[in-house]
Amino acid sequence: MTGAWLNRILHAVLWISVVFFSHPLLAKNLYGDSSLNLPVGVTHMSREVYSLHMIIFWICVVIAVVVFGVMFWSLVRYRKSKGARAAHFHENTWVELLWTAIPLIILVLMAIPATATLQKIYDTSEAEMDVMITGHQWRWHYEYLGQDVSFFSNLSTPPEQISGAEQKGENYLLEVDQPLVLPVDTKVRLLLTSNDVIHSWWVPQLAVKKDAIPGFVNENWTKIDEPGIYRGQCTELCGRLHGFMPITVKAVSKEEYQLWLSEQKQQAAEKAAGNEREWTLADLMTQGESVYNTYCAACHMVNGQGIPPAFPALAGSLVASTAEGRATHIERVLYGKSGTAMAAFGSTLSAADIAAVITYERNAFGNNTGDIIQPAEIKKQLKPTE
């Protein structure tokens, strides 16, 4: 009686799963599209991690089916309401040894491929190029070591989309102003550190996740097989805008990468020229506003009011709006303020950008000091070691 009943249930479950898992849309979702499962990814390592994930997943599913199967069968079979009477056994050395030994064997079987894969992940040797990745609150900085190319990568989703005033775009919160460009078929060593708190750099399609820790340089590597755009996010809580510092990797062919690299060098040269010339107040204000909105507005707010006490206001502040504060103002932007969230920008922004943003801060939000700070003054202030 119970047997037939169980049979029917088992059949139903079987049919539902066949229909569910074989439906083309769902199958695509389940195995390809990565909206239900880990992405397979675009590197040899990511595929290896994916298959490891699937192996342990199915082992866990089988264990669950067996354990829950016995449990639910017992619950149905030994109901008191159906007249079940309790047996008196309460231990069995052999059974207990067996169900200690079998899981142990399964675990060893899981550990072997996991160890092999991990060893490969740790082998950062023979890299063909190095990229230094530095976490900042709340943006990533990429430096192509030995190439004199470096830049910040900022969230490019407009605030109107976040507040809901505008329709959200396809890559909402996963898009940046300048992606990390990497050549395909090249072993790239990633060196990670942080400028402030701990961040973590994760791109699921590359199966790379590593913490960026102040005072440490962590290593990882990737070798991308297919050109494309791969998106990820910071995965270590790093303060207010932790959810708003995405990662975008653009993988291109080796030729395209060389082209991109020379363009970047040319732009860097143009930027350097900007450090040498005299700027007008209007130019400084225009450039300063864009720098301010990208690098300063997250804490000090677009209107300069800040979020006291953690992030003080610039509008009407001693430092930003008085003649006595001028020297301190430059000092703070260049070297930061220790013991607070104020970062040092002296080594990451160009002299022209720093001059522009200080000029902007001293003339915006009602801080009408009329001060003009030229790149030359910033360069003089920067210590020789910077």
Partner 1 sequence: MTSNSYSSATEHAHEPQLRGLKRWLLTTNHKEIGTLYLIFSLTMFFIGGTMALVIRAELFQPGLQLVQPEFFNQMTTMHGLIMVFGAVMPAFVGLANWMVPLQIGAPDMALPRLNNFSFWLLPLAFSLLLSSLFMEGGGPNFGWTFYAPLSTTYAPPSTNFFILSIHLAGISSILGAINIIATILNMRTPAMKLMDMPLFVWTWLITAFLLLAVMPVLAGVVTMMLLDINFGTSFFNAAGGGDPVLFQHLFWFFGHPEVYIMILPAFGIASMIVPAFARKRLFGYRSMVYATASIAILSFVVWAHHMFTVGLPLAAQLFFMYATMLIAVPTGVKVFNWVATLFHGSISFEVPMLFTLAFIVQFTIGGLSGVMLAIVPADYQYHDTYFVVAHFHYVLVPGAVFAIIAGVYYWLPKWTGYYPDETLGRWHFWLSVIGVNLTFFPMHFSGLAGMPRRIPDYALQFADFNLLSSLGGFLFGLSQLLLVWVVVRCVRGGKPAPDNPWEGAEGLEWTVPSPAPLHTFSTPPEFIPERDSPSRA
Give residues 57-76 in contact with partner 1 (rule: CB under 8 A): 57, 60, 63-64, 67-68, 70-71, 74-75
Residues 204-243 that bind partner 1 (CB under 8 A): 204, 207-211, 213-216, 218-219, 232-243
Answer for which of 1, 4, 25, 86 binds partner 1 (CB under 8 A) is 86
> Which tokens is 80 given?
């008191």
Q: Are 183 and 253 in contact (CB under 8 A)?
A: yes
Q: One symbol per residue from 338 to 377: x for binding partner 1 (CB under 8 A), - otherwise; what is it?
A: xxxx------------------------------------
Q: How far is the CB of 44 from partner 1 (least distance, A)?
A: 12
User: Would you say 136 or 362 has its CB closer to partner 1?
Assistant: 136
C-alpha torsion sign, points 90, 93, 94, 96 = positive
**DSSP for residue 11:** H
Q: Are 357 and 288 in contact (CB under 8 A)?
A: yes
The rounded Cα 15 to chain-centroid distance in angstroms is 41
Residues in the chain: 386
Residues 133-172 that bind partner 1 (CB under 8 A): 137, 161-164, 168, 170-172
User: Would you say 115 or 280 has its CB closer to partner 1?
Assistant: 115
Q: How far is the CB of 217 from partner 1 (least distance, A)?
A: 9
The DSSP annotation for 163-221 comes to: HTSSPPPTTTTS-BSSPEEEETT--EEEEEEESSS-EEEEEGGGTEEEEE-TT--EEEE
Q: How far is the CB of 112 from partner 1 (least distance, A)?
A: 11
State yes or no: residue 383 binds partner 1 (CB under 8 A). no
For residue 385, CA distances in Å to 192, 346, 379 come to 22, 11, 12
Distance of alpha carbon 362 from alpha carbon 357, whole angstroms:
9
State yes or no: residue 56 binds partner 1 (CB under 8 A). yes
Judged by CB under 8 A, how many residues of this single chain contact partner 1?
A: 98
Residues 300-339 that bind partner 1 (CB under 8 A): 307-310, 338-339
Q: How far is the CB of 64 from partner 1 (least distance, A)?
A: 6
